[in-house]
Every structure is written in structure tokens, then in C-alpha cells.
């Protein structure tokens, strides 16, 4: 099955808000993120990723209000927030039971105040998120609304690999936007246990869910970026399932990769399982995470048969 759509996942988990005076002493990343969730704005957002010469750009119409963001990317409309996702054109949306993760994971990053600037003629503040002495994200936050109006995410070499910029900005929002009453959604069933590491290269396993089909989903975050690892005990023909996948080799191992303007997919078959990783993590983080997950490979057919028959 060739799908015609690629869902691009929530890019920069980082776009944060600055509340002028309070930013001077606030160094808690999650507090910035919390504030950003309350911002009210709308506009057009240009997003893009450049990764190993692959370039993906997208333009999205966004409305941000009441902790939800509604997104119009031409052929699809979606509304996301508070553990729920509603997407036109799909039968289901999903809901997570977990309303927020408890660990404070912002310790990996520090936030530094930058200078005053302007974006689209509006007063704004530059904020830098620094990881181990290196700039990881530079963001521009609109002073009056706390909306993140521009961001750049840097890779290990200090190059911008992902960016996002409001090219049109307004404090107007459609108040009917956040109406989700009456819309059906699909439950995600939480799992007590999943056979994956509790931490992966600095990312923490927060929780896990059953599905889709007989698969499992494990959700990891470091407080800023996040990804999910999907596993299923059947091997998958990813080339058929995915669209626009390209070979990707890291650490001497071969994967398939799909780069989108705001996220990355990595797909492979490990012995006894198919694995898909999707998230917004930077290239160097991705490579470290992949090194700690089951590696690509095939299983001896006799072992496979034995496992299938006898568990």
C-alpha cells in the first residue's frame, strides 16, 4: 500500500515563550513551554528541514488557541492538543490518557536570554537553548502574545537543519476553532510494560501504548524533543508502507528514512520485529538513539519458524 500522505510531526518541541520580565530569571524550560501553550495567535508558518542534502519545505496555516493548534496544510486539516488529535480525512483521532509527563526533563538544556529584536515589525525577544555549551535552538518570541515566531534548530556541527518562521502573524483567532465536542476519537490503550530501554541516549521512556494493530508504541522525550518508537513482532515491508523513503546508513547499519519539513521517520526490520521511529529529534541525537535500539538484521529462518510455532 502506498500512502499518499505523510504526517509531519510536531517539529520543534521547543518553541517557547518568553514573558519579558520573567524570562530574566526563569531557567526552567518546561515553564517556557507551559507559557507557550497559552499563547493566542494565528498566521502562516514556513517550516523546513535540510538534512544530508535532502530539503523539505512546507507552509502551514495555523491557529493557536486554548492549548490547541489547528493546522491547515492544504490537503489536510488537523487539530492537535492536550493529548488529542483530530484530523480530517482520517476516520479516527487519538487520545492519550496521560495528560502530561511528570519528570522534569529540561535539565539537559539551559535557556539564555538574548537581545530584543523585531519580527514582522513586532517587538520580540531572542532566546537561546543551549545543550552542553552548544547552541541547540535559537528562537524569537513575540513579546505581547508569547507566541514563538521564528526558530532555528542546530545540528552537532552548528548548522541549521530545521527552521520555522511565521511569515504572517495576527492575534486574531477563530473562536470556533477549538470546538472538538462531538468528534469521535480512538483510544490509545496504555501499556504497563514495553520491551525497550528506559532511557535512550538521554531520552526518557515516558509511557507506552498498544496499537495500532498488534503493534506497540513507546514514547520518549528529553523535555524538548520527542519521538515514538513503534514495534511489531511481524517484519514489515517498509518500502511498500512508506512513501519517499531513502536509504540511510549510520554506524555501519542500513535504515530507511523519510525526512519531512518538521520531523524524521526511520524505518527498519530488526530480528523478530519491525521498528519505526518518528519524531523531531536532531540528527546527532537520532544517531545516538538508533545505536541503542535493536539493530537492523534478519533472523535465521529456522529460529523464526521455531519462534512462530512455539513462542
Stretch 28-47 residues interacting with another protein (CB under 8 A): 30, 32-40, 45, 47
Do residues 15 and 139 make contact, with C-beta atoms less than 8 angstroms apart? yes
In whole angstroms, what is the distance from residue 291 CA to residue 305 CA?
Answer: 28
Least Å distance, CB 212 to another protein, is 4
Query: Which CB atom, from 107 or from 157, has the smaller least distance to another protein?
Result: 107
How far apart, in Å, are the Cα atoms of 296 and each of 51, 62, 293?
Answer: 22, 38, 9
Query: Which CB atom, from 10 or from 114, has the smaller least distance to another protein?
Result: 10
Considering the rule CB under 8 A, would residue 16 count as an interface residue with another protein? Answer: yes
Considering the rule CB under 8 A, would residue 309 count as an interface residue with another protein? Answer: yes
Considering the rule CB under 8 A, would residue 175 count as an interface residue with another protein? Answer: yes
Considering only residues 278-307, where is the footprint of another protein by CB under 8 A?
278-280, 301, 304-305
Part in contact with another protein (CB under 8 A); list of ranges 64-72, 112-120, 127-135, 286-294: 64-72
Least Å distance, CB 214 to another protein, is 5
Using a 10 angstrom Cβ sphere, with 0-12 exposed, 13-18 middle and 19 or more buried, the burial of residue 197 is middle
Q: Do strands 203-210 and 41-51 pair parallel, antiparallel, or not at all (unpaired)?
A: unpaired
Biggest alpha carbon–alpha carbon distance for the chain: 67
Least Å distance, CB 215 to another protein, is 6
How far apart, in Å, are the Cα atoms of 38 and each of 66, 135, 146, 148, 299?
Answer: 7, 26, 8, 11, 49
How many residues bind to another protein according to rule CB under 8 A?
133
Query: Which CB atom, from 157 or from 192, has the smaller least distance to another protein?
Result: 192
x/- map, 108-137, another protein, by CB under 8 A: --------------xx--------------
In whole angstroms, what is the distance from residue 33 CA to residue 115 CA?
Answer: 20
Report residue 237 as a C-alpha cell: 515491508
Do residues 250 and 216 make contact, with C-beta atoms less than 8 angstroms apart? no
Do residues 199 and 219 make contact, with C-beta atoms less than 8 angstroms apart? no
Considering the rule CB under 8 A, would residue 242 count as an interface residue with another protein? Answer: yes
Nearest to 196 by CA among 220, 170, 169: 220
Query: Which CB atom, from 251 or from 264, has the smaller least distance to another protein?
Result: 264
Considering the rule CB under 8 A, would residue 99 count as an interface residue with another protein? Answer: yes
Cβ atoms < 10 Å from Cβ of 193: 7
Query: Which CB atom, from 141 or from 252, has the smaller least distance to another protein?
Result: 141
Part in contact with another protein (CB under 8 A); list of ranges 110-118, 126-134, 196-204, 274-282: 274-282
Considering the rule CB under 8 A, would residue 67 count as an interface residue with another protein? Answer: yes
Among 264, 265, 281, 290, binds another protein (CB under 8 A): 265
Least Å distance, CB 252 to another protein, is 25
DSSP state of 96: -
Opening angle at CA 268, ends 200 and 232, nearest 5: 80
Considering the rule CB under 8 A, would residue 12 count as an interface residue with another protein? Answer: yes
Considering the rule CB under 8 A, would residue 196 count as an interface residue with another protein? Answer: no
Q: Do strands 273-279 and 226-232 pair parallel, antiparallel, or not at all (unpaired)?
A: antiparallel
Query: Which CB atom, from 130 or from 171, has the smaller least distance to another protein?
Result: 171
Amino acid at each position: 500500500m502506498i500512502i499518499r500522505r505523510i504526517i509531519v510531526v510536531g517539529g520543534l518541541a521547543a518553541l517557547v515563550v518568553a514573558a519579558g520580565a520573567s524570562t530574566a530569571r526563569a531557567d526552567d524550560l518546561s515553564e517556557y513551554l507551559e507559557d507557550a501553550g497559552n499563547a493566542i495567535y494565528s498566521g502562516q508558518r514556513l517550516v523546513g528541514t535540510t538534512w544530508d542534502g535532502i530539503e523539505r519545505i512546507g507552509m502551514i496555516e495555523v491557529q493557536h488557541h486554548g492549548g490547541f493548534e489547528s493546522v491547515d496544510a492544504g490537503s489536510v486539516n488537523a487539530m492537535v492538543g492536550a493529548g488529542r488529535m483530530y484530523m480530517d480525512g482520517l476516520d479516527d483521532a487519538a487520545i492519550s490518557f496521560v495528560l502530561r509527563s511528570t519528570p522534569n526533563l529540561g535539565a539537559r538544556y539551559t535557556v539564555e536570554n538574548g537581545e530584543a529584536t523585531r519580527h514582522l515589525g513586532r517587538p520580540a525577544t531572542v532566546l537561546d537553548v543551549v545543550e552542553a555549551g552548544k547552541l541547540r535552538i535559537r528562537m524569537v518570541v513575540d513579546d505581547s502574545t508569547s507566541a514563538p515566531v521564528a526558530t532555528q534548530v542546530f545540528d552537532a556541527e552548528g548548522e541549521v537543519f530545521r527552521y520555522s518562521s511565521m511569515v504572517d502573524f495576527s492575534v486574531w483567532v477563530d473562536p470556533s476553532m477549538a470546538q472538538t465536542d462531538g468528534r469521535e476519537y480512538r483510544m490509545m490503550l496504555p501499556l504497563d510494560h514495553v520491551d525497550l530501554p528506559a532511557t535512550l541516549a538521554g531520552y526518557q521512556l515516558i509511557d507506552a501504548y498498544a496499537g495500532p494493530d498488534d503493534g506497540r508504541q513507546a514514547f520518549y522525550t528529553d523535555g524538548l524533543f520527542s519521538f515514538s518508537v513503534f514495534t511489531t513482532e511481524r517484519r514489515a515491508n517498509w518500502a511498500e508502507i512508506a512513501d519517499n523513503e531513502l536509504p540511510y546508513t549510520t554506524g555501519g547499519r542500513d535504515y530507511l528514512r523519510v525526512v519531512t519539513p518538521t520531523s524524521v521517520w526511520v524505518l527498519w526490520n530488526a530480528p523478530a520485529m519491525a521498528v519505526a521511529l518518528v519524531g523531531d529529534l536532531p540528527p546527532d541525537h537520532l544517531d545516538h538513539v538508533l545505536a541503542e535500539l535493536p539493530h537492523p538484521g534478519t533472523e535465521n529462518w529456522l529460529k523464526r519458524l521455531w519462534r512462530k510455532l512455539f513462542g
